[in-house]
Amino acid sequence: MSQPIIISASPHVHSAKTSKKVMYDVVIALIPAFLVSLYVFGISALILTAVAVASCLLFEYLIQKYLLKSEITIGDGSALITGILLAFNLPAGLPIWMILVGSLVAIGIGKMSFGGLGFNIFNPALVGRVFLLVSFPVQMTMWPTAVENNTSIADAVTGATPLGLIKEGLMFGDTMTNISANLPSTMEMFLGISGGSIGEMSALALLLGGIYLLARKVITWHIPVTIIVTMAVMTGIFWVIDPESYASPLIHILSGGAILGAFYMATDMVTSPMTRKGMLIFAVGIAVITVVIRLFGAYPEGVSFAILIINAFVPLINTYFKPRRFGSKIKSKIV
């Protein structure tokens, strides 16, 4: 026999699932949305994504090699996802140095300062995005229009996202009927021709990827479905009471990164609860805070803030919403 017999404790078999496969499944799921962003914003979406991904990987490498002097794990796919998700949450045409700042904050502060993969409390991409949003509010809300020709750079000209238009309109005392005239149609929002960050364009593309993640069992329905249903119910109540002052649930769900957040950001394994029960609480929390910010806060969107706020509660949720221990209820049911 060439190799000696080895001894180890049971189990002696393992499912083929690895962290790497999980990460790359997420990357695959993001491809449709990426293609839509290329279609809508052309080369500037490519530049944005490439810079964000490359810089996230580079910063993780540099921090691991020179600061932490630890093992280099940039191949595990997590920094790649952070890069893509960060890019997806930024407007096309953002200056490159700002993207670099966002990546540094996402990886350096959002992830590595906590100890790297698995130890961070907040979603790294969102930490980067929110840092940029509060530091450079003007550039971060300058939404370019769709390009005519895919090879040209997007022009940073137009105004606002659908939710931005609504918020502005309502602030000036306009009614929803009047505002709606300037909004893209529901179908356009669904397919992906409206203003916003590059990754939140097409609800359809994001849902496709979401279905892939569900089918591959990378995520479960608990977080995304609960977020969307809760948002729909809450915004629906306001809309039914006063349709002239509140946007319809459909607009809320199809725009402002709700689907991107619900399927890809809130479901981040590291920063979401461990149990199904905990996931439901977590998702309801995100939806409630998002709707409160959108309807009563200064920002038209709010998914990013909501996720980051609830991320902070995840350890608490994990402590209080434990799985029910087998045999802890001594109620025997005789069949």
Task: Summarize as ranges the residues that interact with another protein (CB under 8 A).
Answer: 1-3, 5-15, 17-19, 21-22, 73, 76, 78, 116-119, 269-276, 322-335
Residue of 183, 174, 186 lying closest to 253 (CA atoms) = 186
33's tokens = 């949305």
Give the alpha-carbon dihedral of 91, 304, 129, 171, to 10 degrees.
50
Rounded to whole angstroms, the Cα distance separating 143 from 123 reads: 24
Least gap, CB of 123 to another protein (angstroms)? 12
Cβ neighbours of residue 320 closer than 8 Å, sequence gap 6 or more: none
Instruction: Give min distance, CB of 328 to another protein, in A.
Output: 6
Closest CB to another protein among residues 1, 171: 1
| 164 close to 154: Cβ distance less than 8 angstroms | no
Min. distance of Cβ 11 from another protein in angstroms? 3
Is residue 158 within 8 A of residue 145, CB to CB? The reply is yes
Return left, alpha or beta for 329; rule: phi > 0 is left, psi -120 to 50 is alpha, else beta: beta
**Residue placing its CB nearer to another protein in the complex, 147 or 314:** 314
Which residue, 149 or 332, has its beta carbon nearer to another protein?
A: 332
Q: Please, what is the minimum distance in Å from the beta carbon of residue 81 to another protein?
A: 11
CB 93 within 8 A of CB 144: yes
Residue 224: CB minimum distance to another protein, A: 15
Who contacts 235 (Cβ-Cβ below 8 Å, separation ≥6)?
246, 247, 248, 249, 252, 291, 294, 295
Query: What is the smallest separation between the CB atom of 157 and another protein, expressed in angstroms?
Result: 41
Contacting residues for 222 by C-beta, under 8 A, at least 6 apart: 276, 279, 280, 283
Smallest CA-to-CA distance from 279 within 196, 217, 220, 198 is with 220
Q: Which is nearer to another protein, 219 or 247 (CB)?
A: 219
Minimum distance of another protein from residue 200's CB (angstroms): 25
Cβ distance to another protein smaller for residue 173 or 327: 327
> Closer to another protein at the Cβ: 116 or 196?
116
Residue 195 · residue 300 · CB < 8 Å:
no
- What residue ranges in the chain does DSSP mark as E strands? none
Q: Which is nearer to another protein, 160 or 281 (CB)?
A: 281
Query: Which residue lies nearer to another protein by CB, 11 or 173?
Result: 11
- The tokens of 281 are what? 């609480």
Query: Is 58 or 270 the residue whose CB approaches another protein more closely?
Result: 270
Distance CA 26, CA 262 (A): 14
Q: How far is the CB of 164 from another protein (least distance, A)?
A: 34
Least Å distance, CB 330 to another protein, is 5
Angle formed by the axes of helices 19-41 and 43-62, nearest 10°: 150
Two structure tokens written together for 187:
């179908």
